[in-house]
Chain A
Amino acid sequence: RKEVEQDPGPFNVPEGATVAFNCTYSNSASQSFFWYRQDCRKEPKLLMSVYSSGNEDGRFTAQLNRASQYISLLIRDSKLSDSATYLCAVNRGSARQLTFGSGTQLTVLP
């Protein structure tokens, strides 16, 4: 089993739709969780950290479920500019080293 798993998609959604991605992780000792965004042929950039209590940043909401060992990202009112690959990242136990999922591709259609 991979340490971090994501549904690769692609997710094709119309503008304005709400879309959610899940990411499961295998290391129960993981403490830090992140969502990164990667545009085509660009480097990944941090979208948001994921906190235990869940957190929201504008149209984006991140949730953590420790019992089931997954994190989620919800995008509301999706925009064309949200089209990208979304990578989840989980730290390896107490280490700062991150393990990345393989990414979920999102295309928002006009």
Chain B
Amino acid sequence: GAGVSQSPSNKVTEKGKDVELRCDPISGHTALYWYRQRLGQGLEFLIYFQGNSAPDKSGLPSDRFSAERTGESVSTLTIQRTQQEDSAVYLCASNAANEQFFGPGTRLTVL
């Protein structure tokens, strides 16, 4: 009965390094989303996976950002050559019907 889980919960990295964030959706949920939330801001859509369809990458802010998902399981969000403006909480959500269930997020700090 686990919800959406994300790891790591916190990540501190140096500018220029690559980071990989992981999301384990709720089992059976076909749709998976990644969002970014900067401090005091709303949710910024990044990417959406639906089953085996081509992902909607329209929210990725630059080519430094990429994400993968194998089938209906784990997803990883990769940020290459991190910049200070990448510092934010990265939230993953999954759903099977209309409700999105969010994971606790990964708080990324780029020094």
Could you list which residues of chain A lie within 8 angstroms of chain B, going by C-beta atoms? 6, 32, 34, 42-46, 49, 87, 89, 91, 96-103
Contacts and interface: CB of A to CB of B under 8 A. Distances in A.
Contact of B45 (A32, A87, A91, A97): A97
A97 B34 CA distance: 11
Contact of A103 (B33, B42, B98, B100): B42
The main secondary structure of chain A at its interface with chain B is strand
Contacts, number: 44
B45 to A, nearest CB: 7
A49 B9 CA distance: 29
13 contacts: A32-B98, A34-B98, A43-B91, A43-B103, A87-B43, A96-B95, A96-B98, A97-B31, A97-B33, A98-B33, A99-B45, A100-B35, A100-B43
